[in-house]
Amino acid sequence: MSWYRNTVWFVKGLREYTRGGYESASKHFNPADVEVDVTGRSFLVTGANSGIGKATAKEIARRGGMVHLVCRNKERAEVAKEEIVRETSNQNIFLHIVDISNPKEIWKFAEKFQNEHKLNVLINNAGCMVNNRELTEDGLEKNFATNTLGTYIMTTALLPLLEKEADARVITVSSGGMLVQKLNISDLQSGNGPFDGTMVYAQNKRQQVVLTEQWAKAHRNIHFSVMHPGWADTPAVRSSMPDFYEKMKNSLRTDAQGADTILWLAVSAEATKLPSGLFFQDRQPVPTHLPLAWTCSPPEDEEKLMEVLEQFSQKFKSVS
């Protein structure tokens, strides 16, 4: 069935995920949804030094929000911060250097952050697509460490801070690629069989959808959402998917178009009128499975994913 899922997803992508798809969908947007003043609210954006992360941070800053940029590369992050401050005249932009593939670093950061700041909205945007199997210094497969475990630890570590605030939100940036994957808890670190970085990434993005659904059930006073930004022209796409980029570069969305739904989920009142735990594309909730794709997983697998990630999380917390 994988050929069917891949074909349906790609055809759907050509229609909906490109710049043309955004332009069509945006005709139905209400501009007033995001024309809001968020002064006094605190936002944390991971992977904020480039691409849709930076575009999101910039738009929140324009609206008066206090923005915490969590980035891996200090030099690039400082350039991004200067650009955001210069273009928005918002001085409340703070920089934190954290490698999201390093769970001990995330725990140390989160514990310090909780003692010094408040948090209204967490935006899990950082991600990677490594095309060859690569291990971190902790012996973790790098895509899993960044996209799944890093997202899990960052979110769970900051939940106590979010629980203190009214209208708290968590937004995770996933991908439509997850539609071709069924949750696989038997090989979370992709150690069995041939390694396909694109499919590993898609599996991680399926895991993020499951995480969001599970968190929404467990934390009723926080609004959780996960979204697909469409196919955007970002540095990550250019470096990780050069063939795809060359084929599609004239049809890709801009950073700002990719970031639009993240911004809408982060600041609009309309977003939280919808149930927590949904998957969004172009400001609308959309299905998490393709028709006839057989990608639904049993509840026990989804619960097992949470258990395994919690075990990993606590292991690294104890040594951080």
- How far apart CA 46 and CA 122 sit, in angstroms, is 8
209 contacts: CB under 8 Å, gap ≥ 6: 174, 178, 226, 279, 288
Q: What is the 3-state secondary structure (H, E, C) of 219-288?
A: CCCEEEEEECCCCECCHHHHHHCHHHHHHHCCCCECHHHHHHHHHHHHHCCCHHHCCCCEEEECCEECCC
Closest by CA position to 237, among listed 155, 177, 170, 195: 177
Indicate if 201 belongs to the active site: yes
Q: Which of 17, 22, 152, 201 is flagged as catalytic?
A: 201
The owner of tokens 């990550």 is 236
Phi, psi of 110 (to 5 degrees): -65, -40
Q: State which amino acid sits at residue 168.
A: A
Please identify every residue annotated as catalytic: 201
